[in-house]
Structure 1
């Protein structure tokens, strides 16, 4: 059966549906990041407690993602993705009406569990349905939806919250997710090349253990944990820092700081190409060093210099993530799916653990404490990068 080719109506429906799916999921995942100070004020909780609204969602997404892939192999791609999209929208709207922080956290945990169905399945759907000659372009549009969703969700949430409060911000992203879900359900073509496979828990466990047995892959998993942990730590608490004196920025203005993610859109492709030319290990170390330097510059008092430092930090993070994730795919000759799942698991686990732990540093030492914590994580990541270089040379 002929696969979908670029330029056809089916191709446009597939790429637009998955672009909107990625946009909705990643807008929902990080919707609370720019409004953490508002959650602290409304519920009377500390910054570390407020950051759990991000951490529990990324934690449950990390846990669920490892299991959803095999489930989609058995039940089908589109049903799993449709359930994820509709569920994310419904739970997002419900979270806006949570009476206290406890139920809000429970809904955020459920949010992450449900959302995992799209990122764990979308790439497999594209690989099965799109002609291999046009697969790269289709993947690129899907990845663009990831970054645009993460960026637009934060900007929309920050802007809406500034005028109508945090409930309106969370609810607006929930409504956006529902609208995208309805479009997705109506327009995404059903799978034509999917072949159901029986669920085999023993094989899944064996694949995961095999993906853990390679020392180089273990180093890359730890680098994912450390770099993503540092990244979320910075963006979780920069809103507290910039909304406090002497800056006193509004939630809407703080939301726009996430435009700096565009520096990462450039660096992920550029550093990836440089790693092909000069080697993954040295370019990974360089990206981590750039990230560390950017964190140090963010200690400056001047607002513009501080923002420039955050931009440099973001540039380094996306470069490191691009190189490390590509290295995992190249290294894992067998069980590529399990290796990728473990990489993403540790990636989001770092977001959950470090993103909340950094809150204790913020409460005790302020912004210098957060940057010091980030410095420790990135120093450890540089050590792991040096170890990965030795392991790779063997």
Structure 2
């Protein structure tokens, strides 16, 4: 097993963080463009949001394919090939002639983008010992946040200077360069033991994970938290594009720099887990997310940005803990277990607009805040239940 901070650990962790960064610059580059797309195509906020929703939903579906497949053929090839195809699809999107074609290509890209997230943490679970795993997962999630920031900032800035098509072109070219580096850095797996792929067996593994209450609770916590967190950003772009703020695409992209709070939260998660039980860390993360959501009610742009930064810290703290919890408590088919966590995670992202849209229409941003708190109260209860279950297990 690879030990923490060894040469092999640094090389593998750097590769996976880079891969994570590439996935999320592609996934989130269009988000600051949503108000402009709504105006350009004359669609509603919900329809404009499909640019994000179709890709995250396709990503969720792909996890059900790549996770079980990786248990049979290995993780490395899946990560390399899907990243390459996703980069090529960004180039194709830059030449999309209309909104419908853009949605189709974004759907295909979302499916390819699922390859690395489906198996990266399972790869770590195979190769790293427990201390190395906890620290690496925190850094890997940090790569998620940096990719989320980079994609949105690049997407917004390039679109304002040139066009939305140019945003996809730049992101695609960056991805292809990054894939070449990732391809070389990722070490060959040493501890992976393949299992023959059988559809019945793969479905059996997924059902077994869903029947495990310790895993199912983490799945629900991750999915519901992400339902709120990512869709708050989408509705804030509409809020900040309107009076009295009137922000353009470039400045809307810059609000996602608040994801740096999430980078810090995910990087500190491994250290925090050395002193506190993981479910308690999840509870702390959810409560911080609830507090940050209240701060965004302020009418000042500065306070809104502060609230978003607090939200990012709390969300990614809880997310890091929940995802590593799944890898620890899945005693078989880790690829399927990690993939299933991300299915819930990205389904939450896709469905969040349906949940928050009525609150937005009824009461604007205060309505979105109320809708957010209703869900976060549930996830806080889930984390508390996991803490009780862990204490019972430790007492035996």
Shorter chain as normaliser: what TM range? 0.7 to 0.9
Q: 2:379 aligns with which of 381, 385, 389?
A: 381
Query: For residue 361 of structure 1, what is the aligned residue in structure 2?
Result: 359
Spell out the pairing of 1:342-357 with structure 2 (5 A cutoff).
342-357=340-355
CA displacement at 1:229 relative to structure 2: 0.5
Q: Which residue of 2 aligns with 1:119?
A: 117
Distance 2:363 2:312 in 1: 23
Checking the alignment, whether the CA contact within 8 Å between 2:2 and 2:132 is kept in structure 1 is no
Offset of residue 131 of structure 1: 9.6
1:242 counterpart residue number: 240
Is the CA contact (8 Å cut-off) linking 2:20 and 2:117 kept in structure 1? yes
Q: 1:54-203 residue pairs with structure 2 within 5 A?
A: 54-125=52-123, 142-185=140-183, 196-203=194-201
Gaps of 5+ in 2: none
- Deviation digits for residues 159-181 of structure 1 (CA, Å, limit 9, x no counterpart): 11111122211222122212223
TM-score of the pair, normalised by structure 2: 0.87
Question: Per the alignment, do residues 7 and 346 of structure 1 end up closer, same or farther by CA in structure 2, a change over 3 Å counting?
Answer: closer
Q: In the TM superposition, what whole-angstrom CA distance separates every residue of 1:350-394 from its partner, at most 9, and x where no partner exists?
A: 111014542443344322222222122112222333333444444
* Distance of aligned partners of 1:197 and 1:349 in 2 relative to their CA distance in 1, 3 Å threshold: same
1:52 corresponds in structure 2 to: 50
Partner of 1:214: 212
Unaligned runs of 5+ in 1: none
**1:18 & 1:246 partners in 2: Cα distance?**
41
Which region of structure 1 is more displaced relative to structure 2, 221-230 or 73-82? Answer: 73-82
Which deviations, in whole Å up to 9, do the C-alpha atoms of 1:278-321 show, x marking residues without a partner? 43344432321221121111111111122212222222211221
Q: CA deviation at 1:27?
A: 0.6
CA contact (8 A) 1:32 1:53 kept: yes
- Using the size of structure 1 for normalisation, the TM-score is 0.87
Residue 280 of structure 1, aligned match among 239, 263, 278? 278
Match in the other structure for 1:371: 369
Change in Cα spacing, 1:125 to 1:209, as seen in structure 2 (3 Å) is closer
Q: Report the count of equivalent residues.
A: 392
Give, in whole Å, the separation in 1 of the partners of 2:272 and 2:129: 28
Q: Residue 105 and residue 267 in structure 1: after superposition, are their counterparts in 2 closer, same or farther (change >3 A)?
A: same
SS of the residue corresponding to residue 22 of structure 1 reads helix
Shift of 1:112: 1.3
Distance 1:219 1:373 in 2: 21
Partner of 1:248, secondary structure, is coil
In the alignment, the residues of structure 2 paired with residue 3 and residue 322 of structure 1 have an alpha-carbon distance, to the nearest angstrom, of 20
Q: In the superposition, relative to structure 1, how do residues 246 and 18 fare at CA in structure 2: closer, same or farther (>3 Å)?
A: same
CA–CA distance in structure 1, aligned partners of residues 93 and 81 of structure 2: 18
The DSSP-based 3-state class of the residue aligned with 1:245 is coil
